[in-house]
């Protein structure tokens, strides 16, 4: 049985997802703004976040919020961390890889996480210490033990283009060993797919708590591990960072060699 907080998170995620679905067929008419260079948001992001916040406030009005569109609101031991549309560029181009991501974070650590893919009607849920599920079926990370033959996911975030050279060197080194590399465009959904064993591992820089809080919990509860490019545990998930952070996620055996390759390729040094 789902806990009350998770029930309201699921309801909020579905409400946000319905807003996104309703606007899918009028993409040309949406008002789009460039928040930073090559980093876009549309009016539908704000509409979906407003709907999500409205639902969550019914559960506990005093909880704080950290949203990609609304920023930080309030101060509390518990914080709702929301990305109403993770994969905005995909959405605006009609590419079917985007989602709603909601986490309830307690003192910086994710307690519950919900990621909803409206197009596939896939609902990923995790609770600290209780495991992770996809549409009520338990999920686990893949069992691959090394990079050889691995299928990996990464991202080329717009705010990190100044480090594109080192990133491409890392990709070059990985492609010499891995089966393949994907760039799918939604950090939250990428993490959910790693948790479900659809990809062996994921790494990206420039991500914010709203991108990864729910997905990070999914990976952990599915038996995986997360760290930054230097092998350190991720920081607080209820505070936005000026330039984001880096994350590597996968099963326990694969994260370490991937992290070491990120270092040996020179990519990690670009953030020192």
Read off the pLDDT of residues 59-75 as tens digits, 9 standing for 90 and up.
889 999 999 888 899 99
The hierarchical CATH code for the domain 4-138 is 3.30.540.10
Residue 37 has pLDDT above 80, yes or no: no
Read off the pLDDT of residues 135-183 as tens digits, 9 standing for 90 and up.
999 999 999 989 999 999 998 876 667 788 899 999 999 999 999 999 9
Specify the pLDDT at position 39.
Answer: 46
Specify the pLDDT at position 109.
Answer: 97
Domains 4-138 and 151-271 share a fold: no
| pTM confidence score | 0.93
Query: SS3 sequence, the chain?
Result: CCCHHHHHHHHHHHHHHHHHHHHHHHHHHCCEEEEECCEEEEHHHHHHHHHHHHHHHHHCCCCEEEECCCEEECCCCEEEEEEEEECHHHHHCCCCCCEEEEEEEECCEEEEEEEEECCCCEEEEEECCCEEEECCEECCCCCCCCCCCCEEEECCCHHHHHHHHHHHHHHHHHHCCCCEEEECCCHHHHHHHHHCCCCCEEEEEEECHHHHHHHHHHHHHCCEEEECCCCCCCCCCCCCCCCCEEEEEEEHHHHHHHHHHHHHCCCHHHHC
Specify the pLDDT at position 223.
Answer: 98
Specify the pLDDT at position 242.
Answer: 76
Cα–Cα distance for residue pair 163/30, rounded to 1 Å: 31
Read off the pLDDT of residues 81-94 as tens digits, 9 standing for 90 and up.
999 999 988 998 88
Enumerate the domain spans of the chain.
Answer: 4-138, 151-271
CATH architecture of 151-271: 3-Layer(aba) Sandwich (3.40)
Specify the pLDDT at position 21.
Answer: 93
Query: For the ranges 33-47, 73-87, 200-214, which has the lowest average pLDDT?
Result: 33-47
Specify the pLDDT at position 38.
Answer: 41
pLDDT band with cut points at 50, 70 and 90 for residue 28: low
């Amino acid at each position: 049985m789902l806990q009350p907080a998770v029930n309201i998170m699921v309801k909020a995620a579905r409400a946000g997802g319905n807003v996104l679905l309703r606007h899918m067929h009028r993409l040309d008419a949406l008002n789009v703004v460039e928040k930073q260079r090559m980093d876009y948001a549309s009016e539908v992001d704000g509409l979906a976040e407003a709907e999500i916040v409205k639902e969550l406030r019914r559960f506990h009005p005093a909880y704080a919020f950290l949203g990609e569109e609304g920023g930080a609101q309030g101060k509390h031991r518990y914080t709702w961390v929301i990305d109403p549309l993770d994969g905005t560029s995909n959405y605006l181009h009609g590419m079917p890889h985007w989602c709603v991501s909601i986490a309830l974070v307690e003192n910086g650590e994710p307690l519950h996480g919900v990621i909803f893919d409206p197009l596939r009607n896939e609902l990923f849920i995790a609770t600290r210490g209780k495991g992770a599920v996809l549409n009520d079926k338990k999920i686990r990370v893949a069992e691959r033990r090394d990079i050889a033959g691995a299928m990996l996911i990464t991202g080329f975030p717009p705010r990190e283009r100044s480090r594109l050279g080192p990133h491409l060197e890392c990709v070059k080194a990985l492609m010499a060993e891995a089966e393949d590399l994907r760039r799918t465009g939604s950090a939250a959904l990428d993490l959910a797919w790693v948790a479900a064993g659809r990809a062996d591992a994921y790494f990206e820089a420039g991500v914010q708590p709203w991108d990864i809080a729910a997905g990070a919990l999914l990976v952990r509860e599915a038996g995986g591990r997360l760290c930054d490019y230097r092998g350190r545990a991720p920081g607080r998930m209820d505070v936005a960072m000026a330039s984001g952070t880096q994350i590597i996620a996968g099963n326990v055996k694969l994260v370490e060699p991937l992290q070491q390759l990120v270092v040996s390729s020179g990519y990690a040094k670009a953030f020192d």
